[in-house]
Amino acid sequence: MLRETASSHLGLYRAGLTGPDHRRHITVGRAAVLEDALEILRKNIGRKPRHHQLFIGPRGIGKTHLLSLIEDEIADDPKLGDAYMVARFPEESHRTLSFADFLLGLCEILRDILPGESQWAELHQRLATEENNAIIADMLAPAIRQRYRDTGQTLIVMLENLNQIFDQQIKDQRSIAALRGFFMEDNGCLLIATAPLHFGAITDSKRPFYDFFDVQILDQLSDEGSIELIRRNLEWEKRDDILEDMENLRPRLLAIYRMTGGSPRLTLMLYELIANESVTEVKRQFELLLDRITPFYQDRMSDLPPQERAVLETIAVMRDCPKTPNAIAGRMRMKQPQVSSLLRRLTKSQYLRFEDNPKDKRSRLYVIREGFFDIWLAMNVSRGERVRLPFLLDFFAAFYPQIELRNRKRSALRELLAREKTEEQKAAAEKREPNRKDVEESLDYLSEVGEPEEKAAEKLRLAAFQAGKGDDARASEYLLEARMLQVDPVGRWIIERAGSHPLPDYLGDMEDMIACWDARREGGVEAFAAKLREIGEGLTFKTWSLARIAFLRDHLALLPEGGERVELRLRVTALLRDLAQWKEAESEGRLSLQEAEQTGDEPLIAWAMNELALLLQTTNRLAEAEPLMRRALAIDTQSYGAEHPDVAIDLNNLALLLHATNRLAEAELLMRRALAIDEQSFGAEHPTVAIRLNNLAMLLEATNRLAEAEPLMRRALAIDEQSFGAQHPNVARDLNNLAQLLKATNRLAEAE
């Protein structure tokens, strides 16, 4: 479960959300830059402020974090603290539209950080609504200058996203010139600023801030730096459980590094998933961040020619194949030399970087240099991408690269979902386990990782889970996603049948088939055979059974020869017969008998004979069916004894055939024997006894012995009502039989 907001690593590069000790502990790859900045400050103590600094690096590189480190060192070092005071503007300072706005903002900061100097509160109150910019400048600039002369303390003004202030907010170049003049004059102010890239205000020799700053470029972290960043955060949180496994995690962390390109903020977002598994919080923060930086990236795209913009968008959405020049040219429907020229230009202008293709060592793979830019492009090309963040999909693919890892994770997540809510909350609080929403989100993202069959199976499971919760809309979404995947015929059967029936009615069936499908794909022969047997034993008369039949028949040949395969084939035969699939049922029935005879298992042979005989009887081939039934009866009598329930089944089957061929006296004897065996075996009130009573009653009715038949029918009705309840189909059958008899005895009112 995600910890309190103040300790969330998503905010590590935002001022005010972490303490100095925490920031120092997790700082990686910035020691030299920080020391250079501090050395400049130390050398300038007691001198007129100069060496204004500008740190340039892409979004998420840690510019805000670096400013916080400088601020921490000034606060902790007595000499620096006496010589300097930091006035830090908000990271997103949208109110700075003129030089006067800058001064007013600085006054507001001084009011807050210097409560003992009442003049700043008085000046701010007086000037906050002043419309004349000249009055603001004439009052505040001298006040700031006078404070410097009185205290000798240099004011370090920290401004972030300076490019936005200069290029988008302060439109009047005279205001920008006045701002430069303010810092160049003897006002005791030093400017330390950040920007995501070089921008016109500092590169154009005709503009005021040209050659004003000492510029330092912040590089992305190395692979070792990224891993060290994660390790230090784990140390800070005392996550010994993960630290102990760091060596095993190393290949997966390196894959994450390749995905993020060494962006500290992206790395820390992924840290949240590794340590706290908070998918929902990462998504929330990430979407907020992308919304904030959208105007910046829109401007960057508008600065490029159309063909270069097209190249960047194409690379951003190519998340399913190597991004070689040839592949990029194919996606863009352009000739490779033309695309190669565009790639070179974008690489030179720092939009792209390349690496050797590990598969052939001859071609290059191109990636967008800035991780956030890559993700922003991918999400903006298609609205559909906003359903799942490409960034998080890439994470799950990188962190769980093998199916064994994914299945282990899925099993653990499903186990969490199966817990009672109170138990879940208690465990999450004690072990920092993710909450239910995070678990569902993780399973959702994992359903997009792997081969098509693997993804389809997971989407079916999620569809069943959502249907069980009553969320039919979400279940339908997963089924639709599963339908879009290329899977084998068995998987296609499951997907189509799941989509054509109310899912909650078939959740158990579906889970059984998916588990069996998994066992087959993963090569677990014993688990596969056991699961097939369970499915066969549970077959029921439903339309859904068509899918189960197709599933079982497709897999039967994979079982080794023997009784297990024969039993399963016999169950398929019986269900095909019940579903009037005559041709298929006969084929399976004859094959079952043939395989049963090869085993030499007499009871199994009898079972196969009975099933084939029932099919022949159903298709009106009674002469072929009778000898099979008599042989089955003889075998079971010999194997089990004359009073065994299986013998009663054989007697009943043969009796029904004799009834159908009008040999009623012989049929009656067999039915009464079957009834007696079942009453002795199961008890007088068992549903099987009700079946035998009904069969005998129908025969008595056929011989016009209605007075004998009626009590048998009423007894069968009472047994079924007691066993199944008044609304069961068996009860309806019993009522119908009794009603027909009552009509035959002219008791129409009672029959109705």
H-helix or E-strand spanning residue 157: strand 154-159
pLDDT at 89 over 80: yes
Q: What is the pLDDT of residue 15?
A: 47
Q: What is the pLDDT of residue 571?
A: 79
pLDDT at 589 over 80: yes
Q: What is the pLDDT of residue 212?
A: 93
Interval 337-348 mean pLDDT? 92
Is residue 297 very low, low, confident or very high in pLDDT (cuts 50, 70, 90)?
confident
Q: Could you give the dihedral angle defined by the CA atoms of residues 508, 509, 515 and 517, in that order, rounded to the nearest 10 degrees?
A: -160
Is residue 508 very low, low, confident or very high in pLDDT (cuts 50, 70, 90)?
low
Instruction: Classify 688 as helix, strand or coil.
Output: helix
pLDDT at 148 over 70: yes
Interval 221-246 mean pLDDT? 88
Is residue 119 very low, low, confident or very high in pLDDT (cuts 50, 70, 90)?
very high
Distance CA 267, CA 650 (A): 71
CA 198 to chain centre: 38
Cα angle for residues 31, 35, 40 (degrees, 5° grid):
155
Is residue 551 very low, low, confident or very high in pLDDT (cuts 50, 70, 90)?
low
Is residue 521 very low, low, confident or very high in pLDDT (cuts 50, 70, 90)?
low
Residue predicted with more confidence, 138 or 739: 138
Q: What is the pLDDT of residue 375?
A: 79
Do the beta carbons of residue 212 and residue 52 sit within 8 Å? yes
Q: What is the maximum alpha-carbon separation in the chain?
A: 127
Interval 246-273 mean pLDDT? 81
Mean per-residue pLDDT over the chain, rounded: 83
Neighbours of 473 (CB within 10 A): 7
Helix, strand, coil shares of the chain, percent, nearest 5, are 70, 5, 25
Interval 315-335 mean pLDDT? 87
Q: What is the pLDDT of residue 525?
A: 54
Q: What is the pLDDT of residue 270?
A: 78
Is residue 530 very low, low, confident or very high in pLDDT (cuts 50, 70, 90)?
low
The amino acid that residue 573 corresponds to is T
Question: How does DSSP classify residue 354?
Answer: E
Interval 210-238 mean pLDDT? 90
Interval 131-146 mean pLDDT? 94
- What predicted TM-score, i.e. pTM, was given to this entire model? 0.59
The amino acid that residue 577 corresponds to is R
Distance CA 697, CA 693 (A): 6
pLDDT tens by residue, 372-413: 788 788 877 654 444 677 778 888 888 888 888 898 899 889
Distance CA 34, CA 70 (A): 7
Lowest mean pLDDT across 408-422, 452-466, 516-530? 516-530
Do the beta carbons of residue 559 and residue 568 sit within 8 Å? yes
